[in-house]
Amino acid sequence: MNTSLNLSCSTTTTCGISSSSSSCFSSRPKSSSFRAVIRASNVEPSDKSVEIMRKFSEQYARKSGTYFCVDKGVTSVVIKGLADHKDSLGAPLCPCRHYDDKAAEAGQGFWNCPCVPMRER
């Protein structure tokens, strides 16, 4: 797995959300907490967290009968997004969603993913 892939706003995720890098943050509020999240996104997740999320994802797919996106780049970005949230927030929030307050969402203590298979867990 390529762990040097750069997370960016121009990536299409498995949830079907995409945006161009030039307008990624233009429609969102410019609060100080939001700017902190933007700065934090330049930090790569730890190799340990990436590996944990990769193994979790593979095990979940195997047990649930689901499969990864055929575009390996999408899979890599989603796994790295989970790992980044695990490192920065202590919980692997779904990287496909926008959160007004990521810390509050992580503090709720449940898997927060809009994908149907994960919601039905």
- Annotated active-site positions, please? 96
Q: Which residues contact 60 (CB under 8 A, 6 or more apart)?
A: 66
The span from the CA of 72 to the CA of 74, in Å, is 5
Burial 58-97 (b: 16+ CB within 10 A, else e): eeeeeeeeeeeeeeeebbbbbbbbbbbbbbbbebbbbbbb
The span from the CA of 121 to the CA of 115, in Å, is 11
Q: Which amino acid does the sequence have at 65?
A: G
